[in-house]
Amino acid sequence: MTSKAPSTAPSVPAGAPSAAPGGRHHRSARNYLLDTHFQLKYTGFLVGIAVFLSVALGLVLWTTSRKVVEESQATVVQGQATVERGQETVERGKEVVVQSKRVSQVVAMNIAKEYKDDPELAKTFAEAAAQDDKKLEEEQVRLQRDADELKKQASELR
């Protein structure tokens, strides 16, 4: 009787690709696709989802940026209106200073006319009026400086 000893060589299933000489396999794109219909279908599906999300998020960004630009333009218009109001305030301040000086002159004339015998009163009024005029002029200078600064900022916004 002859007995067969188990073989130690690896068994190769029938129909399996044989190795190329030297033990290397040649790779091609066809080797990576096991089930072409399934793999390409779902790859296309994932690419479609990615494109859809990119377009949707791009539209959201575009819409948002458009709104930001519109708000910025509205802010510039508001800034220009503020500058104009600041200039009007400066002009009104100048008118107040002029009116204050006129009132002070009228009161000084009345004091000189009515209180000739009390020169101290005229002196006290003149000092107080000078202080008030000085404060008004300082405020006018501050208003003018602020208006110039607003005008400069408005020109930078354009």
Per-residue pLDDT, 68: 97
Buried b (16+ CB within 10 A) or exposed e, 109-125: eebeeeeeeeeeeeeeb
Report how far Cα 12 is from the mean position of its chain's Cα atoms.
70
- Per-residue pLDDT, averaged over 62-86, amounts to 90
- What pLDDT, in 10s, does the model give residues 21-65? 556 667 776 677 778 888 899 999 999 999 999 999 999 999 999
Q: What amino acid occupies position 9?
A: A
Exposure of 147 by Cβ count < 10 A (0-12 exposed, 13-18 middle, 19+ buried)? buried
Task: Name the maximum alpha-carbon separation found in the chain.
Answer: 162
- How far is 141 from 93, CA to CA, in rounded Å? 10
Contact 93, 140 (CB under 8 A): yes
- Per-residue pLDDT, averaged over 129-137, amounts to 84
| pLDDT(111) > 90 | no
